């Protein structure tokens, strides 16, 4: 049973068809629709509402919109369903064309919760912040930042470079992957640390355990640094202002609606050509296809 449905929407993408479907369905089922606050989402399509009063939050857009909705939903304990207005991503459960059927299933309770961990980030005694995907420390101007990274009290590496990324298993397929870090396959757990453009030395990415605590001693250098969580700037660190950060994994932080039949993560990365076979393998496929008389 759904009495109130929350919305988070992409700020620019074409959503008219999806919004019309949602409004028609909610009107026919006596469901109130409100728009809940989410970082970076300033487009208004409904009256504002409290996410804690919603039975479910629907994110219309893509993975970025769903990620913003998950942050809002996690704080209120409200599950989130991502609806792709475009191609399916890693977090969206349904395309806009299938939205009406998905809403019917939500109303029947015919869905499966997928609980997602989050990073708990503390910085010099400030209140903890959480991120579903990643925390990024990156230089904010000319010059490099220096970092000393320890895991469970043991020094791992010291280096200078552009910064670092620490990700959840979900976030390992986002910025971490772009930075050359490892992807944790479904079922994997732990923290993933990846340096950004380290200058010399040997500084490989690292996968730490789900119970591990990662500590970073940061020296921003001449240009200062930014601390970003899930793509949103949280803090700017002034030049030469040392900063200590700790990052841990918190289980069961957010809930994502699953409807069954979702595309596996690795298949989705290949379909979207985020992961591509080597040219040697692709050339061999072309040769075999050319030699096949059935082609």
d(CA 179, CA 193): 10
Please report where in the chains the tokens 């995907």 appear, as a residue.
Answer: 133
Beta strands in the chain (DSSP E): 4-9, 32-35, 56-61, 80-84, 92-95, 112-123, 129-131, 134-139, 145-151, 154-161, 163-167, 191-196, 206-208, 213-219, 225-229, 232-237, 243-258
| 3-class SS of residue 32 | strand
Hey, what are 253's tokens?
A: 């932080």
Phi, psi of 228 (to 5 degrees): -120, 140
Contact 85, 136 (CB under 8 A): no
d(CA 107, CA 101): 10
DSSP 48: B
Nearest alpha-carbon partner for 137 in 41, 217, 206, 64: 217
Sign of torsion over alpha carbons 173, 175, 176, 181: positive
Sign of torsion over alpha carbons 123, 125, 129, 130: positive
Q: Is 63 a catalytic residue?
A: yes
Nearest alpha-carbon partner for 243 in 214, 223, 216, 270: 216
Catalytic residue among 63, 134, 140, 230: 63
**Catalytic positions, please?**
63
């Amino acid at each position: 049973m759904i009495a109130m449905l929350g919305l988070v929407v992409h700020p620019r993408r074409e959503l008219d068809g999806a919004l019309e479907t949602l409004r028609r369905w909610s009107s026919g089922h006596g469901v109130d629709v409100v728009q809940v606050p989410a970082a970076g989402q300033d487009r208004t399509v409904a009256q504002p509402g409290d996410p804690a009063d919603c039975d479910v939050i629907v994110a219309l857009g893509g993975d970025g919109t769903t990620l913003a909705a998950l942050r809002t939903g996690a704080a209120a304990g409200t599950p989130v369903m991502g609806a792709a207005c475009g191609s399916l991503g890693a977090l969206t459960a349904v395309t806009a064309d299938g939205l009406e059927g998905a809403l019917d299933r939500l109303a029947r309770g015919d869905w499966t919760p997928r609980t997602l961990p989050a990073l708990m980030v503390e910085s010099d005694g400030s209140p903890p912040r959480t991120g579903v995907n990643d925390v990024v420390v990156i230089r904010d101007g000319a010059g490099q930042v220096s970092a000393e990274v320890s895991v469970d009290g043991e020094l791992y590496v010291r280096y200078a470079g552009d910064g670092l990324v620490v990700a959840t298993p979900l976030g390992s397929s986002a910025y971490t992957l772009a930075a050359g870090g490892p992807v944790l396959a479904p079922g994997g757990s732990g923290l993933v640390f990846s340096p950004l453009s380290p200058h010399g030395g040997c500084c490989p990415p690292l996968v730490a355990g789900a119970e591990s605590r990662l500590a970073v001693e940061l020296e921003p250098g001449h240009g200062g640094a930014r601390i970003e969580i899930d793509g949103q700037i949280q803090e700017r660190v002034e030049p030469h202002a040392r900063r200590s950060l700790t990052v841990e994994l918190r289980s069961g932080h957010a809930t994502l609606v699953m409807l069954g039949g979702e595309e596996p993560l690795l298949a989705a990365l290949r379909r979207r050509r985020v992961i591509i076979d080597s040219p040697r393998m692709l050339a061999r496929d072309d040769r075999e296809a050319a030699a096949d008389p059935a082609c």
